[in-house]
Amino acid sequence: MLKPNAVKAKLRDGQEVYGLFCSIPAPALVEIIGCAGYDFVILDSEHTLVDPEGLENLIRAAEAVGMTPFVRVPESDAGAILRALDAGAMGVVVPHIRSRADVNAAIRAARYAPEGMRSLNGGRVPGFGLIDLTEYVRLANEEVMVVTMIEDAEGVDALPEILAGGGIDLVLEGAADLSQSYGVTWRTRHPKVTDALHRMQTVCAEHRVPYCAIPRASEDHAAWRKRGVTAFVLGEERGLVARALRGHLDERRTKDGDTA
C-alpha cells in the first residue's frame, strides 16, 4: 500500500540517502539490502528478466524492511512504468533520457491527471480499498518519484532543457553508458566522462533538482559530498557479492598458506 516516500522527504530536507542496484530477483536478497541499512533499492528490470509477480514480491520485500523500492524500467516502455507502479514501486528509474520529449513521455506514464495520464487501477497500491481512490491519485502524484538516468552525450547537452520543464525528482548519472557514448567504453573515470558528470551536477544544482552520484572510489564519494550531493548509489549487489566472495576465499587461502 502507498506510504509516504521516505527518500523524497529526506532529499527535500537535505539529508543523505544511499541506495543499491539489485539485479538478482530474490526477495531474501532485497531484505538483506534493507537490513544492511540502505535507504532505497533500484530493482532492475532493464537488464534483468523478472516476471510481474516476481517484481511485486521484490517490492514487498523492500517494504517489509522499511526500504524505499524503485524500479529501473526498460527504455521508452510506458507499459513497464505502469506495471512497476501498480506493483507498488515508489519511483521509476527511466534510462537513456536524451530529450525533454523522453521526460514528458515518462511523466505521462508515471503520473495521474492533470500531471500525466497514468492508467487508473485499484489493487495493492491503494490498499485494496483502504485508501479512497481519488485520494490515492493525489497521494501517488505527490509521493511517486520520476528518476531520470542521463547516460548519453545527447542527454548531457540537453540537460538544461530537460530540467527546465519540471516534473523530475532526481537525476541519476550513468557513467558506464556515458563512457561508450563518448567513445571511451568502460573507462568511467576518463576525463570526458568525469567532465560530463560534473557538468550534469552543476546544471542540476542550478535547477534545484537533486543529483544522484555513483561513487566508484572512496575519494569520489568525498568529492561529491563537497559539491553538495546528498544522493548516492553505491554500486550493484552482484559486484559486491562477487568481490566479497573472492576476498573471503583469498583471505582463507592466504591464512591457510601462512599456517602451513
Is there a domain that residue 71 lies in?
yes
**Mean pLDDT over each residue of the chain, to the nearest integer:** 96
Is pLDDT of 257 > 90?
no
Is there a domain that residue 1 lies in?
no
Who's near 138: CB < 8 A, 6+ residues apart?
none
Predicted TM-score (pTM) of this structure? 0.96
Tell me how far apart the alpha carbons of residues 210 and 243 are, in angstroms, rounded to a whole number.
30
CATH number, domain of 74, equals: 3.20.20.60
Query: Of the candidates 195, 192, 171, which has an alpha carbon nearest to the alpha carbon of residue 183?
Result: 192
- Taking only the tens place, the pLDDT of each residue in 76-101 is 999 999 999 999 999 999 999 999 99
Is there a domain that residue 55 lies in?
yes
Identify the pLDDT of residue 255. 79
Is there a domain that residue 66 lies in?
yes
- Taking only the tens place, the pLDDT of each residue in 218-252 is 899 999 999 999 999 999 999 999 999 999 999 99
SS (H, E, C) 109-160: HHCCCCCCCCCCCCCCCCCCCCCCHHHHHHHHHHHCEEEEEECCHHHHHCHH
CB atoms under 10 Å from CB of 147, counted, come to: 26
CB-based burial of residue 192 (10 Å sphere; 0-12 exposed, 13-18 middle, 19+ buried)?
middle
- Number of domains comprising the chain: 1
Q: CA-based diameter of the chain, in Å? A: 72
Q: Catalytic residue numbers?
A: 47
Amino acid residing at 200:
M
Q: Which domain holds residue 200?
A: 6-259
Identify the pLDDT of residue 258. 63
Identify the pLDDT of residue 71. 98
Cell numbers of 136, please?
Answer: 490515492
Is pLDDT of 184 > 50?
yes
Who's near 20: CB < 8 A, 6+ residues apart?
33, 38, 41, 42, 233, 234, 235, 236, 237, 240
- Taking only the tens place, the pLDDT of each residue in 131-167 is 999 999 999 999 999 999 999 999 999 999 999 999 9
Q: What is the Rg, in whole angstroms, of the alpha carbon atoms belonging to the chain? A: 19
- HSE-CB at 227 with a 13 A cutoff on CA atoms is 23
Residue 260 — pLDDT band, cuts 50, 70, 90?
Answer: very low
- HSE-CB at 80 with a 13 A cutoff on CA atoms is 23
Who's near 195: CB < 8 A, 6+ residues apart?
none
- Taking only the tens place, the pLDDT of each residue in 8-67 is 999 999 999 999 999 999 999 999 999 999 999 999 999 999 999 999 999 999 999 999
Identify the pLDDT of residue 259. 52
